[in-house]
Each structure stands twice: as structure tokens, then as C-alpha cells.
Structure 1
Amino acid sequence: MSEPVIAIVGAGAVGGLLGVLLNRSGTDVVAVARPATARRINADGLTLHSPHFGDQVGRLPAVTEIPVGARVIVATKAYALPGLTDALRRAQPAEVVSLLNGIEHMDVLRQAAPDARVAGATIAVESTRVGPTVIDHRSPFLRLTVPAAAESTGIVTAWTSAGLEVTVGGTEAEVLWSKLRFLAPMALLTSYWRLPIGAAREHDPALTTAVLAEVAQIATRDGVPSDPVQLARAIHALPDGMRSSLQNDLETGAATELDAIGGALLRRARHHGVPAPRVQELVGDLGSRGAP
């Protein structure tokens, strides 16, 4: 009996990158995309430009519906999740591994795929789709982190077999918070100051310190102990020119993940009675610029 196909929902900057790399390794993988995008992928393939993996064209097939029984990688933006639930129910997937930003989406996925093995994972990468079928992988790294309970899934096995950097360990909450507590200050500061992270973190050091302290306290009260000093080290280790996708989306007027990132932080802060005035200030300002 053949193994279920891996279906990547969202053939954009992250999903398309993973699709090309899995296809290159010989994995049976398909991209799930809107009809126009699926036609382009089937005609042209997915072109990847990467200083780390090299330039290449992935000839993976594209479909408009999730194949029934597939192993599903959810690689869309967080705001696209409500539009995916019916498709997941129809597909009755064997597995679902989410790469969505934030911490509030897992219950939705488990309700949409009640019989599937569902796990929340994270990816650290700077990747941008510069055309319908062209992906620019800009960071010298691609790091996937999955909870210990997901180690034996077919998706994680495929990632490892493809030679991708995969870290396994911890609970799902620890994995999701490990990214959010790092991503949130990076995304909020770069977007607020309209600057790459190097300049943004130094523009107002007191603000940066306060935001990191608030994020660390929220995560700690939510069950994942976090140290603002360690967060500061991680933020300062980033390449000075690195930008966030939230920043890019705001500048282009696209839909954003402000609610999944900043909104989620504030909701957890209110739930635990943690004051977060500086995070509120940044989220409020970005929301006033028209960010959904």
C-alpha cells in the first residue's frame, strides 16, 4: 500500500519553498493552490532562488483540493485558516502539521480534522514570493521545530529525509511559544519603526527592553517560562538587515497577521491579568494604519 501524498496548503513563500525541497528529495508531494496559481505551477513549476539551497525549479503537481487521506502541511498565513476548515473536513487527512504563526489555531485545526494526527510546528526562515511561481529564499537558514509527540509523523520523517534541519522536542505549547515570543517583538518593532531589525531594535532601546519583558512575562504566565534576557540575545543575533513579513505586508497594503501575533499576545495577557502597555501601544498603532 502506497504512502499518503503530502499536500502543502499554501504554495507561497514558505509552502512553495518546502514543496520544492521535498520534491527534490523524491517525496510524493503536491501543492494545493487557487485555480489560477495551480495552473501556473503546473505549467511553469516553482522557481526557487536560494543562496543556501541553490537555484532550481520544482516540478511538483498542483491541485485545487486537498487529496482525500493526505498528509497535510498548512503553510498559509494565519488569517486564511477560516477558509480552510471545510476543505480539511472534506479531505479527512491522515495527518495535519501546521506552520501557522501564533498560538490560537490548533483547536480549530483539530475540530476540522478530528480523526487526523494534528501537530503544531514552527519554521524559522526569511522567504518571499516575488511572483506567482517564484520564491526568493533570503536567509542562510531554514529551521523546523516540532513537538516530541510529532516526531514519528510521515511529514516530519519526510522533512528529515529531505535533509532539512528539524529540531524535535518539548510540548506543542513550548514549540509554538518558542517562536511567538521571538517573532512577536521582531515583527512589532520592525513594523512600528518601518525599519529592518538592526535599526529597529536600537531606535528606542527602552521600548525594545520593555516589549521583550512584557512578551516574556505573558509566555511565562501561559505556562512556558521565558527569560527577557535570552529573548534580547536572540533578537540581537538576527542579521541587521532582516525584515518581518508583517512589515512587508503593511507596506504593501496586504492582509496581515497582526491579530494572530500581536492580538494573540494581548488576549493571553488579559486572560492572565498581565499588564502589557507597550505591546498594546505597538499593536494599537499598527492597527490604526489599517492592518486587519
Structure 2
Amino acid sequence: MIGVLGPGGIGGMVAGRLAAAGQDVTIVASETTAAQITARGLSFTAPGAPEAVSHPDARTYLTEPVEVLFVAVKATDLLPALQRVPAAVLGNATVVPFLNGVDHLPLLRATYPAANVVAATISVEATRHRPGVVEQVSEMNAVVTTDEAVAELLGKAGIDASTHSDEDTVMWRKLAFLAPFALLTTSANAALGEARDKRGEQLRPLVREAAAAAGTRKADVDADAIEARLRGMPASFRSSMLKDFAAGRQLELDAIAGPVIRALGADNAPATVDTVRTILDARRP
């Protein structure tokens, strides 16, 4: 039995692929989303594949134990979402969080002391069009985790999953890429190409600060490779934070920029601090 908390773009993709691979999936979601999936099923599409409709058990609270629980909510929604999964019900399950940032791991371990909370990151372009209707937009769907059994489970569902033995490297490799990408595009209020034109001088210091923060945890992060990747990515790419900014939704600023500033101190992360201030100033009425 597999549980998925939060069937948005990422959670819906994971649930859809696991259900299509024959896994018994339980989705935990809001009342509206659970009702929609219960009535109509979960529709999932991916490039080069026909639409797959599954009918997972959808509930507003986890009421029966699962072997693995994937947590796929926004960092800003994590605390209320966890109310839907009682620790007594979850027991010693393996918990796989697909959240931005790094601070959620100790929180989940404190909330579920009997569970096996593993490090994991996911890179995928997926969107939820409406409750129960999810599309994987591009072929990219890569997961890195410290848990071999989780990687095997996801691999059988068509997800490119690999393992790394060092938890900090798993978490900080993604954050050291995501923080510059998200902060640069959101502060420019533009897709990556235009953001590079508008605030390109900030790209290198943002990458260097994120990599330096990773270094405080002895994570294996290559700043040069991250910068080259960001300079070479298609101009049309938009970060999830930019999409939230454009839609007026709450931003994951603390989850994404907070770990960098806390690791280095504000005086040693001037580019990150300046970019966060730019974003916050733009959100003021």
C-alpha cells in the first residue's frame, strides 16, 4: 500500500504512475480534491503516452497504515497537510518528501518519530489542471534518494530514480540549483532568458552563495556546473516560484532562500538577501 499526500502536479504524477504500474495507492487530499478523485478518478498524461485513468482510494485523512508515504505538498502547506496523516496511523512507514528546501526533514522526523524519513528530491515538469487531472509536461522526471527500495519502486513506475549515499548532497544539490533559478526569475518577474538579461549579474553570486551554504554541510556541489546549466537552459523556463508570484500565491521564500542565509549569515549572503528583498518589495501593496 502506497500513500500520496498532496496530489498536485508532482504528487498526482507519482500517484498516477504508481497506480498505472499496479500499486495499491491511497491519496490524501483536501475534501474537494478527494471527492473529485473518488467520483471521477485520477487522470494522468505524459509525453508520448496515452491518457491513463486510475481510481485510487482518495481520502481526507489517512486512516489505514501504508508502507510508503510520498509527501508532495508545497513547503508553505506542509504543517496543515500533516494534520491529515496521524503519527499513530503512519507508524513505521517509509516517508519520502518531495518538497523544496532542506528544513522539512527534521520537521518530519520530529512529527513521525517511528517512521523512516528518507532524503529525496524530484525534478519534473508537471501541472495539475484541476483536481484529479494531472499532466507531466516534459519527459524529465528524475528522482534522487538515499533509499534503494524507494528508487526501485519508482523505477518500476517509469520514473528515472537513482540513489546517493549522502543525505546532505542529495538535498543541497537540488537547492543549490533551485535557489538561484527561483530567486533570479522571480526577482525579474520573467522567464529565465529575460531574467538573465535583466539581472544576469546576480546569477553567479547567487550560485556561489548557494554552493557555499551547501559546503557548510560538506555536501558535494559543483558551483561551476550549476552556473553553466542555468546559463544554458532554454530561455522560456519558468521557476515554480515565479509561477506562484505571477498568480499571487504564497511564495516558498523561506524554504528556498532561508537555508542559504541561515547557513552563511546574512552578511555573507548579500546577493541572496538582496534578491529576497527585491521580491518582498514587489509583493507589497
TM-score between the two structures when normalised by the length of structure 1: 0.90
Aligned to 1:121: 120
SS class of match (1:141): strand
What is the match of residue 135 of structure 1?
134
2:104 matched to 1:109?
no
Q: Offset at 1:266? A: 1.1
Match of 1:254 among 249, 253, 259: 249
The separation in 1 between residues aligned to 2:143 and 2:31, in whole angstroms, is 29
Residue deviations 1:133-169 (CA, integer Å, cap 9, x gap): 222322221001101xx113xx433212212100111
Aligned residue among 72, 97, 114 for 2:69: 72
> Is 2:267 the counterpart of 1:267?
no
Letter in 2 for 1:66: L
RMSD of aligned residue pairs (Cα, Å):
1.9
Larger mean CA deviation between 82-91 and 126-135 belongs to: 82-91
Q: 164-173 or 5-14, which moves further after superposition?
A: 164-173
Does 1:181 pair with 2:176?
A: yes
Q: What is the 5 A alignment of 1:23-42?
A: 23-42=19-38
Residue in 2 aligned with 1:92?
A: 90
2:58 is aligned with 1:58: no
The amino acid that maps onto 1:264 is P
Aligned-partner Cα distance in 1 for 2:49–2:232: 22
Q: Which runs of 5+ in 1 are unaligned?
A: none
In the alignment, residue 16 of structure 1 is paired with which amino acid? G
What CA distance in whole angstroms lies between the structure 1 residues aligned with 2:213 and 2:232? 22
Q: What's the counterpart of residue 198 of structure 2? A: 203
Answering whether residue 10 of structure 2 is matched by residue 17 of structure 1, we say no
User: What is the alpha-carbon distance in structure 2 between the residues aligned to residue 53 and residue 195 of structure 1?
Assistant: 31
State the AA in 2 paired with 1:280: V
What is the deviation of 1:9? 0.1
In 1, distance between residues paired with 2:63 and 2:48? 31
CA distance in 2 between partners of 1:140 and 1:85 (Å): 30
Q: Deviations over 1:51-90 (max 9, x none)?
A: 2544332322211112432121101111122224443413
Which residue in the other structure is 2:144 paired with? Answer: 145
User: Which residue number in structure 2 is paired with residue 284 of structure 1?
Assistant: 277
Provide Cα deviations, 1:107-139, integer angstroms capped at 9, x if missing partner: 111111111111020000111212122223222
Match of 1:192 in 2: 187
Q: Taking structure 1 as reference, are residues 254 and 180 closer, same or farther at Cα in structure 2, changes over 3 Å only?
A: same
What do the CA deviations read for 1:237-292 (whole angstroms, capped 9, x no partner)?
4332111111111111112211100122211222xx8711111011112123349x
Greater share of residues in strand: 2
Asked if structure 2 preserves the Cα contact closer than 8 Å seen for 1:217 and 1:274, the reply is no
Name the amino acid aligned to 1:132: P
Distance (whole Å) between structure 1 residues aligned to residue 38 and residue 103 of structure 2: 34
Query: Which amino acid letter does the alignment assign opposite residue 125 of structure 2?
Result: E
Give the number of equivalent residue pairs.
281
Distance 1:220 1:169 in 2: 17
Give secondary structure in 1 for the equivalent of 2:268.
Answer: coil
Q: Distance in 1 between matches of 2:248 and 2:199?
A: 26
Partner of 1:81: 78
Q: Which amino acid aligns with 1:122?
A: T
What secondary structure sits across from 1:126 in the alignment?
Answer: strand
Aligned residue for 1:246, secondary structure, equals helix
DSSP 3-state at the match of 1:180: helix
Q: Is the 8 A contact 1:263 1:283 kept in 2?
A: no
1:44 has 2:33 as partner: no
Query: Which has the larger displacement, 98-107 or 52-61?
Result: 52-61
TM (norm. structure 2) is 0.92
Contact kept? 2:120, 2:144, Cα under 8 Å: yes
